[in-house]
Amino acid sequence: MTTQPPGPVLVTGGNGYIASWLVKRLLDRGFDVHATVRDTRDPTRTDHLRAVARGGPGSLSLFDADLLEAAGFDRAMAGCHIVFHTASPLIVRDVADPVRDLVQPATRGTRHVLEAVNRTPSVRRVVLTSSIVAIYGDAADLQEIEADRFDESHWNSTSHAHHQPYSYSKTLAERLAWELAAGQDRWDLVAVNPGLVLGPGLSRHTSAEGVLVMRDFGNGYYRFGAPELEFAIVDVRDVAEGHLRAGLLPRVRGRHILVSETLSLIEIASILRNRFGDGYPFPRQTVSRVAALMLAPRRRIPQAVARRNIGYPLRFHNRYAREALGMTFRPAAESIVDHFRQLVDDGLVSRVRRNFEDARPGSR
């Protein structure tokens, strides 16, 4: 892989859970990193980045930019060779207005960033943070394809604004990016499609989806049993590495599924119990599909989402990322344990620990 930084690089949404690790990796390698955030004066969004920058040989410049506004990206991108476009709203639960809150920022943001790329002659490569949810909509979709697992040739064709709107927003944004990339020949587009990203964050203020999933294990959400749901997991540090390779390797092309392995909720619970003991309300059994469907509305999971995901296996090939990017993936257990440990250390599951006073992490 190229070791010499070719010039400045831009990371949009540089303060995010994934992007912060990417910024750190880039700084560690000596890059001059430009990063956009929504408000450079907000310390909760920027302090951890400034701290990371103090440690690395590279340098960090922060710029204000909002996905909904075209202004801001040109200035941040000036002179950059690589653009990592990670910014996009990630809201899976209780979306108030799917079009306003997800579809518009994801698609307008992609258009604004890529139109700025078209105006910036130094850019040669754009790495888009897409997702496996641009590959499939619901686990049930796997029953409708010829293969036994999803790969980079598959596209989500089942999500829409009122069913899995986050997945829909990512699908539209990735499709738009490929369309805009095809309209020119100066820069090439490389997409990375991570699964559910777990592992420790660099900021205490993150509310990324993985944090919410892990908190559910610590706050009793699954106390009476876990639905038969599977997650395709990948570590945040590996996702940052995948972005770096997608940006620097000269001949990479296309989409790259970043997934280590798929685990069910009950398998995740068993990993957590083995490591942290019985003091947390980790589920011990799977609830039947019928019971899970009945419970879904109380858990604020739409019926259609529950029906098309509970009880269905979820499988992905990660072969292309291993071959084209040379990726190796941490075992999911490592990401799960490291992530939950951070929640314990940050006191984010402390209320639950007080309810289970006799238990301490690691005790059995």
Which residue numbers are catalytic?
170
Q: Which is nearer to ligand NAP, 38 or 160 (CB)?
A: 38
Task: Kindly tell me which of 77 and 90 has the beta carbon lying closer to ligand NAP.
Answer: 90
Q: Which is nearer to ligand NAP, 18 or 314 (CB)?
A: 18
| Of residues 225 and 241, the one with the C-beta less far from ligand NAP | 241
In the bound complex, what is the minimum distance in angstroms from residue 154's beta carbon to ligand NAP?
16
CB 339 within 8 A of CB 235: no
Our CB check for ligand NAP shows the closer of 198 and 287 to be: 198
286 DSSP 8-state letter:
B
Least separation in angstroms between residue 356's CB and ligand NAP is 28
197-226 burial, b at 16+ Cβ within 10 Å, e below that, comes to bbbbbbbeebebbbbebbbbbbbbebeebb
Q: How far is the CB of 299 from ligand NAP (least distance, A)?
A: 19
Structure tokens at 225: 């049993």
Q: Where are the alpha helices (DSSP H) in 69-103?
A: 73-77, 98
Minimum distance, C-beta of residue 32 to ligand NAP, in the bound complex (Å): 20
Say if CB 250 and CB 193 are below 8 A apart: no
The span from the CA of 57 to the CA of 70, in Å, is 31
| Residue with the shortest CB distance to ligand NAP | 16
CA separation, residue 362 to residues 272, 330, 343 (Å): 10, 21, 14
What are the residues whose beta carbons fall under 8 Å from the beta carbon of 91, sequence distance 6 or more?
Answer: 101, 102, 166
The nearest distance, CB 35 to ligand NAP, in angstroms, is: 9
Beta-sheet strands, E only, within the chain: 9-12, 32-37, 59-64, 82-85, 125-129, 188-194, 196-198, 230-235, 254-258, 261-264
Contacts of 322 (CB under 8 A, 6+ apart): 328
| Of 156 and 206, CB closest to ligand NAP | 206
Residue partners of 207: CB distance under 8 A and separation at least 6: none
Q: How far is the CB of 204 from ligand NAP (least distance, A)?
A: 12
Q: How far are the Cα atoms of 21, 73, 175, 186 from residue 117, in angstroms, in the given order?
A: 23, 9, 17, 10
Q: Which is nearer to ligand NAP, 193 or 286 (CB)?
A: 193
Alpha carbon distances (Å) from 193 to 133, 157, 219, 238, 323: 8, 16, 29, 12, 15
In the complex, the residues that contact ligand NAP under the rule CB under 6 A are 13, 15-19, 38, 45, 66-68, 86-90, 105, 129, 131, 170, 194, 196-197, 206, 208-210
Q: How far is the CB of 101 from ligand NAP (least distance, A)?
A: 9
Closest CA to 336 of 272, 254, 287: 272
292 touches 227 (CB < 8 A): yes
